[in-house]
């Protein structure tokens, strides 16, 4: 199966394809017509229903979560995860016998010292960067090298377990920050791992600097198409050419990080001036300058119980009459409400665990809404459209994919579990979405939409929903330790081989996942569950002062 070129189609394009197809010249966002011309025997499957991908994604995330001690597990898209294993490495460095590195044992649990795996700490597991990396024959190995070796063995173990228990193969990068872990992971795809080793001896450039220096600017995570074009233009001292043959994001230029770094005027201040503008964050100059120098001090974020937003969208060849729009809004609203139930409903145990349940019991309950409570209540409903640009006088259509949106409070009735999603969706269209659509498109007619998106955002997490899968408030437990350990982070990136996501997509329907609590740099209002703002009732979504919650709960029990 995997030897055959295989691609997933959405509308007129290939959205993703397996490695066999890639080796035949197919790539993401390719037009179906082009794909068939280049690779006539490609097997194409309609992939507009992505629920199986979503399920596989949850399964992967849940699997990784089970290993974390500090709760730092961050998803990137459906198939990638960052994990900060600093604390596990610290602990295992302490128990390591430096006189018998070959006979080491990695403890994956602090409570049970028998849980883990034996490994040889005198070597790295898997590939390394640089390829000719050799540790000098010395008696005393430096700490950082040892830490990365431990990280590499942990990655190897976790990949092995993932394969055994879930049937997914994975690619992993092991390094001291997210940037480097992600990039070094690219070196041996699709199913291997690579560790970026620290410098040995007196090298002029650090390994990390050399490594990142060879990358094209646009390959650096955080430097997207716009930023990259601006920097390319500056480095080349002329406009950077765009490759119109590619679907999007294509540039004809090849400007490396090293070239940018070696530009005489290159400094954070210049970059700030060059890159500042609408959409870019303040301090972007400093941030990019750091990226060019392999510096990335961003934290792996805490795992979350619930997503920040849920959205559903569809694109259209032609959508220009109100009855059609209402029909589509209804379809989208149904999907959205279903998604809300899947992603935001948890069993009561998720909120307040009494006794652990078997996986079978959990899965049975996952299929129904019985005994379920909302883990979070989105407060805002957002309607987004993408109007198709009017024809220019010369008959061509200007290519613009700009979106416009309108938001409104999400009515509380959508949280009712006794009503069907069908009737709730009808009600939502009539009572909210129609009005929102009129605000967005006040003209009676004449609009021509190429896309409609429906989203719920502004999650108010339900009181008590701050526990991790282990039932502990990891966020708080490790706040102090974090400060102490900042300098010694080892970060893994996992990427499940896409081949296998499809292969195993038929696995059981999981239910809830992840967990909680960010101490992020928000303006402080959305991490408060028990603040002056009050709490949100898991039964009805009503927000009321904390002191009133006990009595309110009693009301539900009585009713």
Partner DNA sequence: TGGGGTCAG
Partner DNA sequence: ACTTCTGACCCCA
Given a contact cutoff of 8 angstroms between Cβ atoms, the answer to whether 175 and 294 are in contact is no
31 binds DNA (CB under 7 A): yes
Q: Which stretch binds DNA (CB under 7 A): 93-101, 116-124, 157-165, 221-229?
A: 221-229
- What span, in angstroms and rounded, lies between the C-alpha atoms of 516 and 536? 16
- Contacting DNA (CB under 7 A), which of 107, 210, 407, 527? 407
Q: Nearer Cβ to DNA, position 159 or 382?
A: 382
Interacting residues with DNA between 201 and 220 (CB under 7 A)? 218, 220
Residue 227 binds DNA (CB under 7 A): yes
Nearer to DNA, 128 or 275 (CB): 275
Separation between Cα atoms, residue 221 and residue 180, nearest integer Å: 10
Least gap, CB of 500 to DNA (angstroms): 14
> Smaller CB distance to DNA: residue 226 or 252?
226
**Per CB under 7 A, which of residues 110..139 are in contact with DNA?**
none
- Pick between residue 66 and residue 391 the one whose CB is nearest to DNA: 391
- Taking CB under 7 A as the rule, does residue 313 contact DNA? yes
Residue with tokens 């296998």: 500
Instruction: Decide: is 399 part of the binding site for DNA (CB under 7 A).
Output: yes
Determine the 3-state secondary structure of 194 from DSSP. Answer: strand
Nearer to DNA, 92 or 305 (CB): 305
396 binds DNA (CB under 7 A): no
DSSP string, 526-554: TT-SSBTTBEE-TTT--EE-HHHHHHHHH
**Residue 331 contacts DNA per CB under 7 A:** no
According to the binding rule CB under 7 A, does residue 187 interact with DNA? Answer: no
Tell me the three state secondary structure of residue 391: coil
Contact 386, 499 (CB under 8 A): no
Instruction: Considering only residues 40 through 99, tell me which ones interact with DNA, judged by CB under 7 A.
Output: 48, 50, 76-80
Q: Between the CA atoms of 391, 392, 395 and 400, what dihedral angle is there, to the nearest 10 degrees?
A: -60
Give phi and psi for 145, each to the nearest 5.
-60, -45
CB atoms within 10 A of CB 288: 25
Considering only residues 443-462, where is the footprint of DNA by CB under 7 A? 451, 453, 455, 458
Contact residue for DNA among 258, 403, 543, 553 (CB under 7 A): 403
- Three-state SS string over 177-237 comes to CHHHHHHHHHHHCCCCEEEECCCCCCCCCCHHHHHHHCCEHHHCCCCCHHHHHHHHHHHHC
**489 lines the binding site for DNA (CB under 7 A):** no
Instruction: Please choose, out of 29-37, 65-73, 153-161, 258-266, the segment that lies near DNA by the rule CB under 7 A.
Output: 29-37
Exactly one of 110, 238, 438, 439 binds DNA (CB under 7 A); that residue is 439
Give the interface size with DNA as a residue count (CB under 7 A). 71
Among 154, 223, 428, 474, binds DNA (CB under 7 A): 223
- Taking the complex as a whole, the smallest distance from the CB of residue 370 to DNA amounts, in Å, to 24
How far lies 68's CA from each of 118, 236, 314, 350, in Å? 19, 45, 36, 18
**332: phi then psi, degrees, rounded to nearest 5:** -65, -40
Of 39 and 217, CB closest to DNA: 217
- The residue within the footprint of DNA, chosen from 226, 252, 327, 438 (CB under 7 A), is 226
Q: Kindly tell me which residue out of 58, 159, 373, 379 binds DNA, with binding defined by CB under 7 A.
A: 379
Cβ nearer to DNA, comparing 224 with 411: 224
The reply to whether 26 sits near DNA by the rule CB under 7 A is: no
Lateral strand order in the sheet of 404-409: 310-315, 449-461, 376-387, 404-409
- State yes or no: residue 402 binds DNA (CB under 7 A): yes
Phi, psi (deg, nearest 5) at residue 271: -60, -40
Token duo for residue 191: 């199913």
Look at the alpha carbons of 62, 65, 71, 77 in this order and tell me if their dihedral is positive or negative.
negative
Rule CB under 7 A: which of 238-297 touch DNA?
247-248, 278-283
Report the greatest alpha carbon distance in the chain. Answer: 81
């Amino acid at each position: 199966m995997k030897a055959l070129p295989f691609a997933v189609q959405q509308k007129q394009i290939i959205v993703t394809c397996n490695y066999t197809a890639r080796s035949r010249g197919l790539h993401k966002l390719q037009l179906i017509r082009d794909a068939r011309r280049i690779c006539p025997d490609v097997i194409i499957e309609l992939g507009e229903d992505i629920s199986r991908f979503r399920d596989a994604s949850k399964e992967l995330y849940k699997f990784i979560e089970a290993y974390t001690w500090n709760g730092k597990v961050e998803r990137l898209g459906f198939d990638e995860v960052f994990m900060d294993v600093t604390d596990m490495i610290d602990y295992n460095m302490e128990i390591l016998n430096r006189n018998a590195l070959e006979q080491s044992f990695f403890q994956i649990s602090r409570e049970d010292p028998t849980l883990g795996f034996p490994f040889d700490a005198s070597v790295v597991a898997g590939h390394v960067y640089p390829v000719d990396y050799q540790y000098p024959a010395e008696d005393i190995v430096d700490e950082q090298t040892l830490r990365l070796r431990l990280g590499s063995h942990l990655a190897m173990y976790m990949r092995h377990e993932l394969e055994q228990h879930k049937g997914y193969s994975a690619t992993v990068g092991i390094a001291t920050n997210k940037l480097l872990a992600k990039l070094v992971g690219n070196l041996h795809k699709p199913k291997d791992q690579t560790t970026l080793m620290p410098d040995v001896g007196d090298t002029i450039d650090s390994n990390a600097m050399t490594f990142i220096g060879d990358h094209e600017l646009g390959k650096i995570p955080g430097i997207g198409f716009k930023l990259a074009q601006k920097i390319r233009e500056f480095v080349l001292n002329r406009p950077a050419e765009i490759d119109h043959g590619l679907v999007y994001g294509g540039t004809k230029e090849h400007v490396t990080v090293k070239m940018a770094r070696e530009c005489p005027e290159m400094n954070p201040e210049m970059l700030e001036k060059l890159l500042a503008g609408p959409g870019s964050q303040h301090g972007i100059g400093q941030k990019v300058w750091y990226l060019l120098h392999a510096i990335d001090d961003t934290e792996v974020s805490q795992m979350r119980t619930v997503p920040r937003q849920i959205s559903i969208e569809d694109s259209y060849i032609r959508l220009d009459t109100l009855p059609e729009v209402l029909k589509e809004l209804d379809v989208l609203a149904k999907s959205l409400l279903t998604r809300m139930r899947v992603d935001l409903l948890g069993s009561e145990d998720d909120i307040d665990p009494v006794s652990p349940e078997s996986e079978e019991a959990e899965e049975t309950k996952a299929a129904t809404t019985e005994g379920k409570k909302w883990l979070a209540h989105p407060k805002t409903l957002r309607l987004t459209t993408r109007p198709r640009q009017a024809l220019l006088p010369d008959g061509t259509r200007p290519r613009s994919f700009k979106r416009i949106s309108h938001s409104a409070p999400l009515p509380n009735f959508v949280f009712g579990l006794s009503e069907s999603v069908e009737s709730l969706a009808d009600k939502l269209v009539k009572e909210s979405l129609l009005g929102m659509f009129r605000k967005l498109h006040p003209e009676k007619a004449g609009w021509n939409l190429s896309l409609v998106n429906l989203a719920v955002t502004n999650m108010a997490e339900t009181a008590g929903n701050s526990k991790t899968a282990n039932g502990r408030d990891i966020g708080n437990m490790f706040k102090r330790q974090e400060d102490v350990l900042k300098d010694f982070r080892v970060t893994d990136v996992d990427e499940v081989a896409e081949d296998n996501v499809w292969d195993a997509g038929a696995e059981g329907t999981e239910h809830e996942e992840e967990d909680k609590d960010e101490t992020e740099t928000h303006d402080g209002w959305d991490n408060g569950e028990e603040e002056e703002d009050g709490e949100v009732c898991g039964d009805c979504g009503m927000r009321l002062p904390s002191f009133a919650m006990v009595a309110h709960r009693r009301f539900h029990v009585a009713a």
